[in-house]
Structure 1
């Protein structure tokens, strides 16, 4: 039952993430809110990349990021990032379909070379905390970037503030 719920959440949130990434305008791709922040393009690419990590998190007991190479393309090219997102979603979806109730209890570790950076943790916790919640966190950042640049934030869990205001004004 938990696996079915995770798959449903994944599919619902992929749709929301797609809407958000499609809202990133090329004209603001280099925007960053502070000197230490990513650009909007880098943040979008990071969100797309997280979906790639599902494979290592769900199919390996030890995931070594140092030995994993992913061609990401230019973060200033939102179309390339959207293509990366779609390709990585397919890989993530396939990896999710291999998960069992038992495998969610298996211990998982992330390394960068010899250095352990996360874990060991039960894979189910990694799925929720490192993958799902990680994406949600960065989507929230992207919404701030979009609003800071005067762009429209798509509704993902119902109407946005702007959509609500437009509906109220239409009724008047």
Structure 2
């Protein structure tokens, strides 16, 4: 399936909400887990998280995938310092400045049911490189999952993307903090 990937803007917020739907984890989280932290994003305040996402989309921090004229996928990509939760688990053994706004991060994917497993995430992951470079980033990193051979990972856990999609986009592995998680990076 051919997929067009476009940066988000204030005008595409309704398309982002179409991808998130009206129930399920993407709807509930509104892509705020890595911005707010685990406990805050679990509150019942979906409307509040939606408004935070509206701000993010208005800033142009994200990508949408369209196989035709229907939005089917979302990817959050923004300066790494915007994601306060990333300063905890992904930082062990690193000596970079956590507040460096020239390092960007890819934290989340949401793909509508019926379009998963058709290359939408791969197209989005590939587009993050040019998107971050064009925004002036010196590097972009991500925190994907690598399922064990022959094992499926539930979609809710795969919201960070698959390692294979990032490797196909030219990212390199910089560390493996766990058996299933990698930190990958593309330096410009």
Q: TM-score scaled by structure 1?
A: 0.31
More strand by share: 2
Task: Compute the TM-score of the two structures, normalised by the length of structure 2.
Answer: 0.29
Tell me: higher relative CO, structure 1 or 2? Use CA pairs within 8 A at least 6 residues apart.
1
Which has more radius of gyration?
Answer: 1
